[in-house]
Amino acid sequence: MELMGILTCWGSTTMAIVLAASVLILLPILVLTASTMSFQAAVSRSDDCKRLPTVPYMVPFFYHAVPLLWSPIKFMTNTLKTYGWRRPLRVRAGWFQFTIIANPSHIQTVFRSSKQLTSKPAVLLSLKYLLTSPASAISFYAADNSGIASVPRKGSNIEHHNRIHFHQAHTVQEFLSGKHLAHLGERYLNTLQRNLSSLFTTRSSDWVEYPDMYQFIQTQATRAAVETIMGSKLLEMSPTLIEDFWEFDSAVPWFLRGFPRWLMPSPYKARERLHDSIKKWHAYAHAHSDCSKTGNDDPEWEPYFGSKLIRARQDYMLKMKPMNADARASEDVGLMMASNGNAIPCIFWFIYEALRDRDLRDRMTAEVASCTESGKLDITKLSTQPLLQSVYAEVLRLRIAIGMTRVSETEGFDLDGYHIQKGEPLVIFSRPTALNEEAWARVGGSVSKTEPLSEFYAERFLVAQGSVGGGNQFSLDGLAGSWIPYGGGQRMCPGRHLAKGEMIGTFAVLFTQYDIELLAPDSPKTEPDLRWFPAGALPPIRKVPFRLRPKLQKV
């Protein structure tokens, strides 16, 4: 009897284990089958009764969370390849859900709806997880429902001086355009040339070898950009500022995923040092300069605050009670990220592609030569050259991998017959859109077996001019919803013109005043680090050694 009891107990336990294993095996299959049937039912509805389809999943409650967090680029690529790009697709990760928009016509609709749609959730996410802004500042941002237009949204009661989103957008648009932009572009070139010259005490025929071209460009281009925008005193006060910035920036994808301090202590410490440096610089600059001096008769640049952009930002933030010293420091950490985080990797790719192709390099430098007079580069003219612009646009198409979020705060949003709930994020990813060959071919984009969108093609944005022998001209016609490295609509990146000048200008300085060569030109092409998707520009996955020397004057 005792043996029978043991056997019975063992048999019951075995049966329970078998049943549990069966459930674990069958449940994902059943869930996938049910969610696939629901997806098919949604997509088969008629045009007058559309329902937003949810991408099929295998795990209830978690839905798509695991593959989305494990490899965002792989999940998005497979999702659009399997379920199509023409219709919006809903993705869920636990309690959170969002809608992927990949159809170029839908993307244009979203960008044109700037009055109704806001990017506030993405801003709040960055303030909290990237910039560690004070809670009072985050609440201040969240409470501002007035929009970015000159006229506040209907129903908003936010006082004008507290319209943080408007002042932020308006100030950047004003002081990164027109004569202000021209001055910044010229100052960037002059500063870069001065800094590079200091690397060579004598002009000789000796090459100087560097193990990592990306790190070299990070240091030199960022230093020139920071001094141009923020002044020279910040760098004088904080000699490790550039190193601290890039150590922090290197962990951006993991900050956004909520990685704790104990997993990456160095980036956390670097962010703290960066924040403290900027906070001390603000105090010093306010003691020696007047941030209200942004009028026509005031200097475009001075060493304490740098550009009028920085002075104007300080001026409006000082009138906002929640924007204390810590909040203002976080804002300028954010400005450093916005002005360098994407531009610097793209400068690297611009130069790298030129170094890999001698014919391309020669044609690019010929355009630079046409913009040089008495040894001085014309930054405005440089930015209008056809091939240089095409290379610039192709680098951004292939090496920018950002996610853009829009939300309707006040009411539901209709997108081609699909009803998007109030508060549900619409997310647009630049990289899948940039690689969508079917969509590009539909609008006449340059796509073929010899120039697939997965490969760099320098002439992709060149079209023949009307007259015979008229040469080529740069064009983005028809690509408004496909070429979107800067976003679109009222929220299109206001620093895009400065970034363009920095990319082309850095190339021009290096290739006209220096001899520059790859140390291993026949080595396999370096690839972008896709782990950065969708946080911005993709850095190279490995080091690229090179050598540099000043060009010797011809006798």
Least confident of 8-22, 235-249, 267-281: 8-22
Question: Could you report the per-residue pLDDT of 117-163, keeping only the tens digit for each?
Answer: 999 999 999 999 999 999 999 999 999 999 999 999 989 999 999 99
DSSP annotation of 302 reads: E
Asked whether the bond before 534 is cis by omega within 30 degrees of 0, the reply is yes
3-class SS string, 173-235? HHHCCHHHHHHHHHHHHHHHHHHHHCCCCCCCCCCEEECCHHHHHHHHHHHHHHHHHHCCHHH
| Termini Cα distance of the chain | 110
How far is 129 from 327, CA to CA, in rounded Å? 14
Structure tokens at 279: 């906070």
Torsion sign across C-alpha atoms 285, 289, 294, 297: negative
Torsion sign across C-alpha atoms 288, 292, 296, 302: positive
Higher pLDDT, 310 or 411: 310
Structure tokens at 534: 């969708």
b/e per residue, 98-123, with b = 16+ CB within 10 A?
bbbbbbbebbbbbbebbebbbbbbbb
Arithmetic mean of pLDDT, 58-65: 91
Arithmetic mean of pLDDT, 201-219: 91
C-alpha closest to that of 218 among 333, 354, 343: 343
3-class secondary-structure state, position 366: helix
b/e per residue, 378-417, with b = 16+ CB within 10 A?
bbeebbebbbbbbbbbbbbbbbbbbbbbbbbeeeebebee
3-class secondary-structure state, position 415: strand
What φ, ψ does residue 404 adopt, rounded to 5°? -110, 130
Least confident of 24-33, 425-434, 489-498: 24-33
How far is 314 from 208, CA to CA, in rounded Å? 41
pLDDT band at 8 (very low <50, low <70, confident <90, very high): very low
3-class secondary-structure state, position 50: coil
Report pLDDT for 272: 98
Total residue length of the chain: 555
Domains of the chain: 1-100 (no CATH), 160-550 (1.10.630.10)
Report pLDDT for 325: 98
> Does pLDDT of 290 surpass 90?
yes
Which class for 234: exposed (0-12), middle (13-18), buried (19 or more C-beta within 10 A)? buried
Least confident of 62-66, 261-265, 345-349: 62-66
Query: Which residues, in sequence order, are CB contacts of 280 under 8 Å at separation 6+?
Result: 237, 238
DSSP annotation of 56 reads: P
Residue 539 gets the label, from left (phi > 0), alpha (psi -120 to 50) or beta, of beta
Report pLDDT for 469: 62
Distance from chain centroid for Cα 542: 20
Cβ atoms within 10 Å, residue 178: 10
Structure tokens at 475: 């064009």
Question: Could you report the per-residue pLDDT of 468-517, keeping only the tens digit for each?
Answer: 666 899 999 999 999 999 999 999 999 999 999 999 999 999 999 999 99
Mean pLDDT (the chain) is 92
The DSSP bridge partners found for residue 307 are 301
